[in-house]
Structure 1
Amino acid sequence: MTERRAPSTARRSERARVAILEAAYDLLLDEGFLAMTIEGIAAKAGVGKQTIYRWWPSKSAVVFDAALHAGEQAADSGGLPDTGDLEADLRLVLHAIVDELRDERRSAAQRTIMVESMHDDELAEKVVEHILRPQLELTKDRLRSAVRAGQLDRDTDIDTLPDALYGPIFYRWMLRTQPLTHAFADQILGTTLGVHKVNQRARQGESG
């Protein structure tokens, strides 16, 4: 007789976890953060409410992990492109960010998380640790590569340059002061990198 193995508890738990994350993200997009409930997430995922509370302390915690899971599923790679053309590589990244923020459903989910993080310190720490800091560090790595290649001035402030690139885009997105477009991203990119290219040319002139 063929021995029948009992289903793996770890496998069942992982299936339940994924079902909860996907259910939470779907409800976030369809109903919004305020309207959705832990009970609704549990019903949609086909699990008990206590199963959710065993892994997450609050609705905001499960919603954050749900959004993070959705982002990980959509991610193509672990780093920024490095073709040797810094401006082209950063333009590709900025355009992708603009496209994501212009997606009505995904933008609403991200806006909810950002707003909630303003009065939830634990959620704010998660946003910085798992979303903002990784993106900033990847950008800094790409900028360091450009410095080594002689495309940026050696004195370029690698720590603040990413803020100059991303800050205006998220400012316009959050406050909706004007439409968020690829052209706006290109303008920010050209202005930001142009300053450092001018500095580099000036230094070359001084040394000559």
Structure 2
Amino acid sequence: MTVDPFNRGNHHAAVVVGSLALAALLWAAGYRFSRIIAAVPWFLLFLVLIIGPVTKIWPSINQRFEGNFPLYFRSELGIWFVIWSLGHVLLVFQLFGWDVVGFVVGMSAWAFAALVGVVIAVVLLFTSNIWAYRLMGPKAWKWHQSHGTYVMFWLFTVHIYDQTFLRGGGPTEDPLHLLYALSIVIIVGLHIGAFLKVVAHYRKHGKYPSGIS
């Protein structure tokens, strides 16, 4: 079973420590706080999005570790992704003198896409719990969480494209921007690879692998 509506304290602690360690590394590399608070949530989302396809391509990972690792870390990673993202949005509003209406009215399409992505993230945050799971039922809850995450990913991707390529007028030399672009390629590549493996399994055995419903 890959549906996990529970939140575990030790998982939250691990994600917080990992997030702060990443933030410290970026700070040591010379990045400003405003860049750090934008980067950390993206890489948390990166982990959320690669866990599923990685375990489909290499299912032995689940057998090697206890507690259905790493699948059962997705909920906590997603929650802290939202928390860091909200911090980033609040910082942007602060830089604009808390003129939220003026910022929203004058924002670019790329920035608007990111703002919509954050709204979706907040909805997913408040439904990432056992109460929402029981209300919706397992399949609807999983559909809601997974599809919302994919839509959110593509909205943030166009925002990153704007920040990385359009604003600079050409290819970026910023290592962090290059990591953003690489992470997008990795996510898409892993999902395509997992899809092809599932199809190949179905063609060979006449049924889908376990965990596919």
TM-score by length of 1: 0.32
> When you count helix as a share of all residues, which structure comes out higher?
2
Higher relative contact order (CA 8 A, sep 6+): 2
TM-score of the superposition, structure 2-length normalised?
0.32
